[in-house]
Structure 1
Amino acid sequence: MSYAKERIVTAGGSITEIIYALDANDELVGVDMTSTYPQEVKSLPQIGYWKQLSIEGILSLKPSLFIAWQDSEPELIFEQLKNAHVATLRLQRVPNNLPLLLANIKRVANAINRKSQGEQLITLISSQVQSVEKLIQNQAKKPKVLFLFSISGTTQVSGKNTVADSVITLAGGENIATHDFYKNYSTEAIITANPDILLVTSQSLDAIGGKKNLSQFPGIIHTNAWKNNRIVSIDQALILGMGPRIGEAVSSLYNGFYRSPNKED
């Protein structure tokens, strides 16, 4: 059955990844600045940041469908799109967990006539995560993990109600940061937390010239994670975005969490 192609504009990196995972990227005509994967998305026109949208930039791409987070701003944008006869799909962004991701995939797939592709993607992701869950059941103890969201300047740690917390949990780790969202950590706080594993983004490590240079940040060398060479890195798009590559993220972290403590990177 044939159908008219959409002209889709997205505002949200994970939303853009869903479009690609549903093999509908030929209908994508514009994205926001948080859309960085896959590589080819960078060649598409940008509409700015999803929290600071401009109606002119969106309408210039002549979209038939605009897909964005429920809390995209300004709110006026959606009234303006309605007046311009552009269909909109607003997706819930929190809580940042797997059930919501699967629900969003289904909504997007139905909206762009990719229902069967959506069902296949949901089945694949569920299977990937369940495979890791089975492996976790064989582990005697979960490692205590501290995710350093930012290590340039002030050290910022990711707490509860974040994508990182959900991914760490799905991968079999225990996020020992108990605060909500993100919080600056002092030297004393890092030493007191004393994680088994320090989790950082690969981009952060690249920015400081590699893992060895983590030693320059106060408190880190006093943790068990540093002493036992338990520094795990992951691409920031995988740990900060609850998208269709969640199975890849969970599998990667599981391997990092449960590898031999004596294994060198």
Structure 2
Amino acid sequence: MMKSIYSLGYIVIGLCGLLISYVVANDRIVTSGGSITEIVYALQAGDRVVGVDMSSTYPPHVKQLPQIGYWKQLSIEGLLSLKPTIFIGWDDSGPAQISEQLKQANIQTLYLKRVPNTLDLLLSNVESIGKAIDQPVEAEQLIAQIKSQVAQTTAQVKQYQHKPTVLFLLSMAGATQVAGKNTVVDSIIQLAGGENIAQHANYKNYSAEAFITANPAILIVTTQSLQAIGGLDNLANIPGLTHTQAWQNRRIIAIDQALILGMGPRVGEALTILAAGFYPSSDTNIDKPPSH
């Protein structure tokens, strides 16, 4: 009954006469952050989203929505022009004054932690968003689904005694950057059963010598990066890369950037893709447990 009352946009009054909640049927949600946008859609509230930031690329429909800039440098004018009833973004969104500006405009806000890039934080954010947009049941269901998908992959990769060494490359059209610790990529690689051999923090440019020294068994790139450089063969133009065992054995995994650059509700899909590349059934170089 409560759900039907909410959907009609009624005011719910407690016994003492105080206002408890007011939920409008035509909520107007603006999101900032690719994984935040994905969560809102996964909670079946996509029809209420009226604007997104530039990092939001999934589901494909969001590319047709008005954009409010990049999450680190949002356009307050563009955001206010969409007349949102709630704004959901990262707690380190920019510019710094945007929080006060939205408060002055009487717009409800929900700021979520972006780091550390862990599964637990993702699940916590799903729960918070579910409460904020009145989709708590859907949030519980999504949390259970994510947990199940992740558990299935992690259980499968535990059977392997040897973790392949991995490097993730980004922005290959310009400087080649490698994802290190304290990144979403690092967390996803670990969950999928790989070892990210980049020990530095965040992203770092690599020289030819750095690639040769690292000598990863597997390279991960985004499909968007491959498109930007004109295809897989053009990876050979990156100095030092052809000297790695990953290149020589053609162990290169291409994955959509929305799956690996953000810890979102499709993390289970990302793990499945990576685990299949880390531990292909035909690979005889991986130490598998003895059959009984």
TM-score bracket, shorter-length normalisation: over 0.9
d(CA) in 1 for partners of 2:55, 2:171: 17
d(CA) in 1 for partners of 2:236, 2:94: 40
1:85-118, CA deviations, whole angstroms, 9 ceiling, x for partnerless residues?
1100000000111110000000000111100100
Shift of 1:261: 4.3
1:37-87, CA deviations, whole angstroms, 9 ceiling, x for partnerless residues?
111111111111111122221111111101010001122111111111110
* Unaligned segments of structure 2, at least 5 residues: 7-23, 285-292
Residue 171 (structure 1) aligned to one of 150, 167, 192: 192
Shift of 1:154: 2.3
Cα RMSD (Å) of the superposition?
A: 1.2
2:106 is aligned with 1:85: yes
1:160-197, CA deviations, whole angstroms, 9 ceiling, x for partnerless residues?
00010011011100000000000011000000000010
d(CA) in 1 for partners of 2:234, 2:71: 34
Larger radius of gyration: 2
Residue 115 (structure 1) aligned to one of 136, 144, 149: 136
Instruction: Within 5 Å, give how 1:245-256 maps onto structure 2.
Output: 245-256=266-277
Shift of 1:217: 1.6
2:179 is aligned with 1:154: no
The count of corresponding residues between Structure 1 and Structure 2 is 262
Superposition TM-score, scaled by structure 2 size: 0.87
Give 2:259's aligned amino acid. Answer: L
Residue 43 (structure 1) aligned to one of 28, 45, 64: 64
Residue 249 (structure 2) aligned to one of 210, 228, 232: 228
SS of the residue corresponding to residue 83 of structure 2 reads: coil
Shift of 1:218: 1.4
2:50 is aligned with 1:29: yes
d(CA) in 2 for partners of 1:11, 1:209: 30
Superposition TM-score, scaled by structure 1 size: 0.96
Instruction: Within 5 Å, give how 1:181-192 maps onto structure 2.
Output: 181-192=202-213
1:74 match? 95
d(CA) in 1 for partners of 2:237, 2:205: 17
Give 1:213's aligned amino acid. Answer: N
d(CA) in 1 for partners of 2:76, 2:210: 44
SS of the residue corresponding to residue 58 of structure 1 reads: helix
